[in-house]
Structure 1
Amino acid sequence: MAQLPTSLVFTIRRSEAELVAPAKATPREYKLLSDIDDQQSLRFQIPVIQFYRCNPCMQGKDPARVIKDALAQTLVFYYPLAGRLREGRNRKLAVDCTGEGALFIEAEADVKLEQFGDALQPPFPCFDELLYNVPGSEGMLNCPLLLIQVTRLKCGGFIFAIRLNHVLADGAGMIQFMSAMAEMSRGAIAPSIPPKWERHLLDARDPPRISFTHREYDEVEGTIILSENMVQRSFFFGPKEVSTLRKLLPHHLRKCSKFDILASCLWRCRTIAIKPDPDEEVRLLCVVNVRSKLNPPSPSGFYGNAIVFSAAITTARKLCQNPLGYAVELVKQAKESVTEEYVKSAADFMVIKGKRLHYTMVRSCVISDVTRVAFVDVDFGWGKAVYGGLAKAGIGAIPGALSFLVASKNKNGEAGTLMLICLTAPAMERFSKELDNMSKEQPADEMGKSVSISSTL
């Protein structure tokens, strides 16, 4: 049984999870991951959820059957996803293309889509029911790389949930695979964008040479706070909310990107919420898509991890006592530091250090912008998703570290951005208060100063 915030109670009946193999024979081979792919930072699962309305044009068609068949056909082209991860010398990862298949679950819920509420957004209290964690399936090695659950709803709509091992793909790669499945569901015989492995493009050079400091991987002394009492929340930023924050910036920064504003806002409010020592360093790690930064750019169809981390670093005191523009400057500098040479240096860094590294976890906040990853456009034949995107924040090795920006709409149909964040309950309350306080700050004057009524460290 699962219970929604509206006290709606419903039952889900699930079939046993089964392995769906490629519809045709596929090559049996070993395929090495890149030196960006197999870093420790990416060794976790990415969960995505999609909600679909009933479509009278699809009367008599079972979404679970349609999608299951499409999965088998798509795995012919994306056959590494039907294999299993193996670990070699120096923790180097490779896919053993065994063709064993991906996990698939068929389910049915006695609830209608409209009963989930006007504005679908994380957290979904019933998520563990909508994407069942099959025992033994969540490991890194020798486990299925992909898990899909399709849950039919009482109204004729359905929910599609998917979990993919991050070392195989980033957000852009994941949406490429999902879009290929959707094309197969609608009758295509091959994906419109043929998948390309090409992981060598993001391998270290020979010989490797580090040309940047890569402070995103600093070894920092301190305690990593682990808590099971974590709270998930989404905060909606429409044009009005973004405009209010933009007015807090000095005039020379007001044309900065929406990401710069929201990332800086999250970093500042979150730092106040977690109450670090004022003189300790705090970090915002931006996840940067580097496809266009490579020369030549990564080929169309590449679905591996074409991402690096870049670090904005300051003390908690400076971050929280300065206006928002201070954080925006740091975020812009961190993003602009990512060049093709930076990407190559990051891959070299992994190899020279002789271990698969994890980004700095002490007093770090990581933010990934997936607003341009068009999850809602994935159409299995029933039309676009009502909500499509990341299912929750806080995933990865450290609960609460990773936040997302996701494209969404509010209950009035206004397009905007959801900020998905995970914190302990007390810290979440303080975070929410600081966001509210920031909206009450006075606009910046010509000198770039603003009057803040928010609490500081």
Structure 2
Amino acid sequence: MAQDVHPRKEAPLVPIRNLKIGHLWAISIHWSLILNRVKASEIFGDENVGFAYSINIRKLVKPPLPVGYWGNGCVPMYVHLTARELVEQHIWKTADLIKKSKYNATDDYVRSYIDFQELHYEKGITAGARVSGFTDWRHLGHSTVDFGWGGPVTVVPLSRHLLGSVEPCFFLPCSSASEGKKDGFKVLVHLQEDALQGFREEMDKLKS
């Protein structure tokens, strides 16, 4: 399921009670993707749900990765809370949890994550059944690469198994074939089939 988002201009930082949330966090929370997934999947009460997102660790590790390094430079970060907390608490409290989780990213965290991958890779690794993954590909530069005959028509992930989440969400640059949509972006959402109709209904409520 994909939905085009076309903001009039780049959203500024939003100060809420001394809290500043960047463009990605404001959209991903305010747009209510996680909340609507929980409602559509009929997850309630004290069942744990999670949010996974990628963080750039190129300058975080010691020593930092050199300029021009094109290997993997991201690791996933996680936020966990109950379905009741997600549905009932103020939206900015959830956003603050996501923002603060970034401070858990350290050199030790990265090295521990690599060790865990090496130990358990062959068994298969996921973040869990109730984890929504988000990653922002709008500014990675894929859409501007010229292969000799021009840039790509569109940018999409070849696999959904990138964040450990079975239901990841990708923020993608608009297709070059989409006239008049250069300032917006596409949202690619993966959902369980039985939750799709409920998710569409919840998203339609945002149009009113």
Tell me if both proteins adopt one fold, taking TM over 0.5 as the criterion: yes
Alignment-derived partner of residue 257 in structure 1: 22
Identical residues among aligned pairs (%): 23
Structural mapping, 1:179-328, within 5 Å: 233-240=1-8, 250=16, 252-253=18-19, 255-264=20-29, 265-328=32-95
- The answer to whether the Cα contact below 8 Å between 1:422 and 1:428 also exists between their aligned partners in 2 is no
Conserved 8 A contact 1:399-1:422: no
Q: Which amino acid aligns with 2:81?
A: T
Query: Which sections of structure 2, spanning at least 5 residues, go unmatched?
Result: none
1:423 alignment partner, SS class: coil
Change in CA separation of 1:297 and 1:396 when aligned onto 2, cut-off 3 Å: closer
1:406 lines up with 2:172 in the alignment:
yes
CA distance in 1, matches of 2:93, 2:9: 19
Mapped to 2, the partners of 1:417 and 1:349 lie a distance apart of 34
One-letter code aligned to 1:234: A
CA apart distance, 1:316: 0.6
Q: Secondary structure at the match of 2:188?
A: strand
User: What is the distance in 2 between the residues matched to 1:368 and 1:413?
Assistant: 20
Contact 2:52 2:165 in 1 (8 A): no
CA shift for structure 1 position 310: 1.1
Report if aligned partners of 1:287, 1:307 keep a CA contact under 8 Å in 2.
yes
Q: In 2, Cα distance between the equivalents of 1:251 and 1:414?
A: 33
AA at the equivalent of 1:435: M
Letter in 2 for 1:430: G
Equivalence for 2:129: 362
Match of residue 200 from structure 2: 432
From 343, 346, 352, the equivalent of 2:113 is: 346
| Cα deviation digits, residues 78-97 of structure 1 (max 9, x gap) | xxxxxxxxxxxxxxxxxxxx
Q: Secondary structure at the match of 2:185?
A: strand
C-alpha contact 1:393 1:402 (8 A) present in aligned 2: no
Are the aligned partners of 2:25 and 2:95 in contact in 1 as well (CA < 8 Å)?
A: yes
Task: Find the residue that maps to 1:310 and give its secondary structure.
Answer: strand
* Runs of 4+ deviating beyond 6 Å: 396-399
Corresponding residue pairs, total? 201
Higher relative contact order (CA 8 A, sep 6+): 2
Question: Which residue identity does 1:332 align to in structure 2?
Answer: K
Q: What TM-score results when the alignment is normalised by the length of structure 1? A: 0.39
Q: Which residue of 2 aligns with 1:384?
A: 151
Counterparts of 1:417 and 1:337, CA distance in 2 = 29
| Larger-Rg structure | 1
CA–CA separation in structure 2 for the residues paired with 1:267 and 1:391: 20
Q: Which runs of 5+ in 1 are unaligned?
A: 1-232, 441-457
Q: Residues 435 and 325 (structure 1 numbering): CA distance in 2 closer, same or farther, change over 3 Å?
A: farther
* TM-score of the aligned structures, taking structure 2 as reference length: 0.79
Following superposition, the deviation at residue 432 of structure 1 comes to 2.7
Shift of 1:428: 2.2
Q: Is 1:420 equivalent to 2:188 in the alignment?
A: yes
1:135 aligned residue: none
Contact 2:127-2:165 within 8 A present in 1 as well: no
Whether the 8 Å CA contact 2:172–2:186 is kept in 1: the answer is yes
8 Å Cα contact 2:35/2:86 also seen in 1: yes
Compute the RMSD of aligned alpha carbons.
3.1
Return the offset for 1:359.
3.2
For 2:205 and 2:16, the matched residues in 1 are separated by 19
- Give yes or no for contact 2:133–2:167 (8 Å, CA) kept in 1: yes
Q: Which amino acid aligns with 2:113?
A: A
| Matched position secondary structure for 2:139 | coil
